[in-house]
Amino acid sequence: MPNQVSRREFVKTGLAAGVAAAVVRPRTIRPVVISSRNGHEFKNGGPRTAVTEAYQRMAAGEDVLDAILAGVTIVERDPLDDSVGYGGIPNAEGVVQLDSCVMHGPKKRAGGVAALEGVRTPSLVAKAVMEQTDHHLLVGAGAQRFARQMGFTVEDDLNTEHSRELWLEWKRRIDPEHYLDPQKRSSAGARARDAMLAEGLLSPERVYGTIHMSGINASGHVCGATTTSGLSFKIPGRVGDSPILGAGNYVDTDVGACGSTGRGEANLYGLSSFFVVEEMRRGAHPKDAIVEALRRIKARTTERRLLKADGTPNFDVKFYALNAAGEHAAMAMFAGPEPKYAVCDQDGPRVVAMDGLFAGKPS
């Protein structure tokens, strides 16, 4: 018979698979929580940062996803982080629209929301989508209606004084009263955003502002969440990678997790977080898996407007990966200025330097 497998070959294959599994998942797993850098920057007036809160809850026996969400909602609620949740930098019309995705590895379930207005904690609405519906993603007015039905407070405006001031400054610079054609208006908006970056009014970390967090407990349960206010001054309705399964967030509890911050459009094209997890499934260390994802993004970036003079991408993107053995890594497209990510384990919370695929930074 064609393609028949002998008993000896079957046993050999099974033994090899068992060895591989033993390498991927040791008997004792060291619990850890990792996140983008803002996971260890903001406390919303409380005693702990996001990674600290998540790790302590996870170590106390809480469900990993519940622990992670207790962490990221600290950042979502903190008006000092203008890249996530309340006070996130609004879209081109001055409206804060939020995106989020959650994935529960052991339950093999996920939920997401996009272009959600009026709710400070989109990650919790994403969890409600996961638990209360048969869907993965709700968007716009439908997502807001669902949130209201689930008992979430829906506010008229999520802007803070700071986020509104930034939007007004941006709006003045592009002079919208002239009703520029779409291409010119887009160019004018980008120039205004770049000028505000150069003047220090905007932080490079906040232009594509996001927080990703993933964690693994001693039982090997892996979960992850990504939440964002998206690209600063985006076209209303724009959705990036954060709420999309496999792009801004992907979890397979038998393999690991990966999430991303940075230019969402670049990440969406290759579903890079899914790709990183699949590379880890094939045995790659988290850092090596991220390197391959960054190389793919570089190879697939061919439009001149998105390239520096040396041919490298003129944008940044960062990945945060964690495997089923508790090993983790993060890496950026560019090494400067000194990118870092947040970690919390039995040694406590800290920020750790990450490498870049290329030296320097986007223009």
CATH assignment of the domain containing 147: 3.60.20.30
- Return the structure tokens found at 332: 């950026």
CA distance 291 to 194: 28
Instruction: Please report whether residue 23 resides in a domain.
Output: no
Query: For position 60, what pLDDT does the model report?
Result: 97
| Model confidence pLDDT, tens digit, residues 280-320 | 999 999 999 999 999 999 999 999 989 999 999 999 999 99
Query: For position 7, what pLDDT does the model report?
Result: 44
CA distance 73 to 88: 13
Instruction: Please report whether residue 6 resides in a domain.
Output: no
Query: For position 182, what pLDDT does the model report?
Result: 52
Active site residues: 210
Instruction: Please report whether residue 10 resides in a domain.
Output: no
Q: Supply the DSSP symbol for 307.
A: B
Query: For position 200, what pLDDT does the model report?
Result: 64
Query: For position 185, what pLDDT does the model report?
Result: 55
Residues spanned by the domain of 335: 29-358
Residues whose CB is less than 8 angstroms from the CB of residue 118 and which lie 6 or more positions away in sequence, other chains included: 144, 147, 154, 155, 156, 157, 158
Query: For position 15, what pLDDT does the model report?
Result: 40
Instruction: Please report whether residue 11 resides in a domain.
Output: no
Number of domains in the chain: 1
Instruction: Please report whether residue 82 resides in a domain.
Output: yes
Instruction: Please report whether residue 21 resides in a domain.
Output: no
Per-residue confidence in pLDDT tens, the chain, 363 aa: 344 444 444 334 444 444 344 334 556 799 999 999 999 999 999 999 999 999 999 999 999 999 999 999 999 999 999 889 999 999 989 999 999 999 999 999 999 999 999 999 999 999 999 999 999 999 999 999 999 999 999 999 999 999 999 888 888 887 654 434 455 555 666 667 677 666 666 566 555 568 999 999 999 999 999 999 998 889 899 999 999 999 999 999 999 999 999 999 999 999 999 999 999 999 999 999 999 999 999 999 999 989 999 999 999 999 999 999 999 999 999 998 889 999 999 999 999 999 999 999 987
- The answer to whether 160 touches 133, Cβ cutoff 8 Å, is no
Residues whose CB is less than 8 angstroms from the CB of residue 104 and which lie 6 or more positions away in sequence, other chains included: 64, 65, 110, 130, 223, 251
Query: For position 189, what pLDDT does the model report?
Result: 66
Instruction: Please report whether residue 334 resides in a domain.
Output: yes
* Pairing state between β 98-104 and 109-116: antiparallel
Instruction: Please report whether residue 17 resides in a domain.
Output: no
